[in-house]
């Protein structure tokens, strides 16, 4: 495993867990949450509603479907497998494992990490990984901007605290990187496996 990749994965996972520990069992905003909420409150509700549009399942599921079909068409089996596996796994971990574990509440619902953010950022991460390595800076910047704007919308509309959004993003990127790496390892192992030697037919007596 490359050192840079391992360090990135460890930092994301550590940050996600550390933030979760800080807000665990809480029902009130942190100082950072309050500051971001104040900033997000400057936008009109119509603008905030537009901001959160990418977090709606029909939007990111459509993007994933198009990406998967395109990857299969180009025979990019690794991209297709990552697109199918990473967002699903990240969302499941957020909803069924992390939220009950950290028990952080916003009004009447478990909030850490934000499931909407997790799904969106995992989708964006797959889109970035699907782009050529030499040209990823542009897609990565665009993905970061979309994620940040969506996060402001979620906070401004009163769905989540800022820490919920950041935690969801960290979990999504970490899971997507891990899934992509596992897919790459499996693909390399499959290619390295020697082809079976054809058996010669037995001679008739």
In the chain, where the domains are located: 3-185
Say which residues have a Cβ less than 8 Å from residue 34's Cβ, sequence separation at least 6. Answer: none
- Segment among 85-94, 135-144, 147-156, 192-201 with least mean pLDDT: 192-201
CB 26 within 8 A of CB 102: no
Encode pLDDT of 87-96 as tens digits. 999 999 999 9
pTM above 0.75, yes or no: yes
Per-residue pLDDT for 83 more than 70?
Answer: yes
Q: Across the strands, what pairs with 109?
A: 106
């Amino acid at each position: 495993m490359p050192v840079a990749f391992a360090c990135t994965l460890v930092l994301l996972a550590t940050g996600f867990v550390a933030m979760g520990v800080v807000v665990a069992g809480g029902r009130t905003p942190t100082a950072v949450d309050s500051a971001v909420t104040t900033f997000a409150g400057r936008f009109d509700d119509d603008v905030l509603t537009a901001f959160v549009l990418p977090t709606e399942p029909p939007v990111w599921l459509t993007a994933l479907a198009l990406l998967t079909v395109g990857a299969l068409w180009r025979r990019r089996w690794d991209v297709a497998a990552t697109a199918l596996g990473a967002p699903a796994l990240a969302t499941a971990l957020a909803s069924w494992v992390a939220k009950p574990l950290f028990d952080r509440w916003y009004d009447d619902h478990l909030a850490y990490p934000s499931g909407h953010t997790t799904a969106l950022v995992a989708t964006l991460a797959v889109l970035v990984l699907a782009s050529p390595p030499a040209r990823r800076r542009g897609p990565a910047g665009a993905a970061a901007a979309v994620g940040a704007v969506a996060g402001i919308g979620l906070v401004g509309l009163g769905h989540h605290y800022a820490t919920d959004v950041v935690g969801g993003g960290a979990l999504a990127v970490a899971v997507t990187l891990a899934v992509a790496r596992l897919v790459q390892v499996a693909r390399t192992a499959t290619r390295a496996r020697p082809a079976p030697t054809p058996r010669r037919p037995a001679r008739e007596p």
